[in-house]
Amino acid sequence: MAEDNEKLFGDHKIPTSVMLKRLLRYIRPEWKSFLFSFLLIILNVGFEVITPLFIKEFTNAIADTSVTLAYIMGLSIGYFVISIISQVMIYFESMLLQKAGQRIVYKLRMEVFEHIENMSQNQFNAMPVGSLVTRVANYTTALSDLFTNVLVLLLRNILTVIGVYAVMLFLSWKLSLILFGFVILVFVASLIFRNIITKIYRKERQLTSDMNTFLNENLSGMKIIQIFNQEDRKEKEFNEKNIALRKTKFNAILAHAIYRPAINLLYYSALAVTFVVGLQLKLDAGEIVAFYLFLSRFFNPVQTIADQINQIQKATTSSERLFNLLDVPPEVVDVPNPIHMETFKGKIEFRHVWFAYEDEDWILRDVSFTIEPHQTVAFVGATGAGKTTILSLIVRNYTVQKGQILIDDVDINNIEIKSLRNAVGQMLQDVFLFTGTIKSNITLHDDEYTDEEINRVCEYVNADKFINKLEKGLDTEVLEKGDNFSQGQRQLLSFARTVLHKPQILILDEATANIDTETEKLIQDSLEKIKNIGTMLVVAHRLSTIQNADQIIVLQHGEVIEKGTHQSLLRQKGYYHKLYLLQFRND
């Protein structure tokens, strides 16, 4: 699955330098917040470095009987004031960075979502929804942590280590140089740990994405799983993925379990050296206590630096996968300076169109036909003949490999995609309803439509007959995918949604399939009303529903084999005639 994802998303290793440059584009607008926070961090680190020197003076003052109470009180007040100022600066620094970080992640999340919206149906269908959700939600969250927490702590810890060591050199350069050996050991251990944990986290991200994909697909298809008693097999598949993810997380835990005690051992060894060497160098009590405090301020940041490097590695992996997705170019895009069309007459022409979803496995072969404005045209043929593909090509869900499609004598590749799709209304066999209300599903949250317009459209398409029976009417809640409505009711709502947006070209792809006879009659009655609205394209297996079409185009194996009206095709006694007799006998 991971290999499939890499192929689909074009996942590849992005050099760190390149990734940082790309991230810099999002950071640059927030440079003032980061600069001010950086200054606050420097000041705060300075205060943290100074505080052990107060303890040093306290220690020496207690041992010196000549020191006055006023001097000790002065040290206490100074220590208290610095602590208060330090905490205030931490507050402002945190608020600045949190707000800046959230703005950055907001922009990145929106960019990723908009990029997904612009992908073609061919690309979208090929990409697991679970992986897309993981990239938009989880990976941007990891980047949020990077900007708001990890980088700040990493910078503070690095400055603290530098500042503390500088003061330690000032107090005793001999002892500091001896302790520097422990610093080298810490960084070597951290480097080894980083290399190991990087590989582990990369694998963990891939396995997490695979599991999310599996869950999304199987939870959506749970009804089929239960119908065919596939629970045990699916449990086994999930168990395999769960075990693989568990092993990877255990490896990460093991790496941390070895690394942290090793750092602690180095810390305690450094403390022992401090006391022994400090006494040999004849340091006073205050200096030894100061070294003890400095060591804790030194080793704690060093230890957390490694953890923050791990967090950075997680964020790097996340940003890499986000950029991999952003680097996948949409297959269907506007040409430079596309033609914006407010209105369409509705003439549609296919000129020697060839199309394949993959390579040269042709779904359509040299298809040519012309549909005049305001005609009702039906497409007939066996499953896989290319009927739905033709409808998808008209709205540019895909791009043809050969030939040309024209609307109002203009190549659709030159028409602005937004204006083209705005003019086309589609009713599909599988109606998708969003969580919300009936009203929001009909208007798609467009507040420009009034309740009067919505009610008029519902009455026009006969959807009012079941909506008016509901207690809350248009405000009735819609469950996920509209599962609280029948197939026919969902189809009527889809019809109302389509008509409300005033299409100039109407597409019906098996819109009357799998619904009861009563609802089909309601829809047929509505279809008769809107025939004059614009050009209507219909795909239907039930030939009884298309007998009054102005033109019927018969497809077989991706080729147009017959064209004409219902009566003329029957007189030809060809493929359409056979289909008609077959359905008539079955009826």
| Nearest CA-CA partner of 554 in 534, 574, 535, 524 | 574
The answer regarding whether domain 348-586 maps to CATH 3.40.50.300 reads yes
Phi/psi at 201 (nearest 5 deg)?
A: -70, -35
Rounded distance, CA 96 to CA 94, Å?
6
In the numeric block, the tokens 């056979």 are attached to: 578
What's the pLDDT at 370?
95
Per-residue pLDDT of the chain (587 residues; tens, 9 = 90+): 444 444 455 567 777 778 778 888 888 888 888 889 889 888 888 888 888 777 777 777 776 666 777 877 887 888 888 889 888 988 898 888 888 888 888 888 888 888 888 887 777 777 777 677 777 877 777 777 777 778 778 888 888 888 888 888 888 888 888 888 887 888 788 778 877 887 888 888 788 888 888 888 888 788 788 888 888 988 999 999 999 999 999 998 998 888 888 888 888 888 788 778 877 877 777 777 777 777 777 777 876 776 677 677 777 777 888 888 888 888 888 889 999 998 899 999 999 999 998 878 899 999 999 999 989 999 998 888 899 899 999 999 888 999 999 999 999 999 999 999 888 988 877 788 888 898 998 998 888 888 899 999 898 888 888 888 888 889 999 887 777 888 888 888 888 888 888 888 988 887 666 566 676 676 677 667 666 678 999 987 778 778 888 999 999 999 999 999 999 999 999 999 998 888 776 55
CB neighbour list of residue 190: distance below 8 Å, 6 or more residues apart? 259, 302, 305, 306, 309
What's the pLDDT at 428?
78
Rounded distance, CA 498 to CA 494, Å?
6
Q: Where does the chain hold its CATH 1.20.1560.10 domain(s)?
A: 2-326
Q: What is the pLDDT of residues 219-235, one digit of tens each?
A: 878 878 888 888 898 89
Is 258 in contact with 190 (CB distance < 8 Å)? Answer: no
DSSP assigned state of 466: H
Q: How far is CA 189 from CA 14, 19, 302, 306, in A?
A: 26, 26, 11, 9
Q: Residues in the chain, how many?
A: 587
Q: Which fold has domain 2-326?
A: ABC transporter transmembrane region fold (1.20.1560)
Q: What is the pLDDT of residues 148-177, one digit of tens each?
A: 778 778 888 888 888 888 888 888 888 888
Q: Where does the chain hold its CATH 3.40.50.300 domain(s)?
A: 348-586
pTM: 0.68
**H helix intervals, 148-172:** 151-171
CB neighbour list of residue 81: distance below 8 Å, 6 or more residues apart? none
CA atoms within 13 A on the CB side of 295: 24
Q: Please, what's the b/e burial string for 447-462 (b: 16 or more CB within 10 A of its CB; e: otherwise)?
A: eeeeeeebbebbebbb
Q: How far is CA 224 from CA 134, 227, 234, in A?
A: 24, 5, 12
Phi/psi at 573 (nearest 5 deg)?
A: 50, 45
Rounded distance, CA 405 to CA 366, Å?
12
What's the pLDDT at 555?
94
In this structure, what token pair is assigned to residue 573? 């006694």
Strand partners, 509: 428, 539
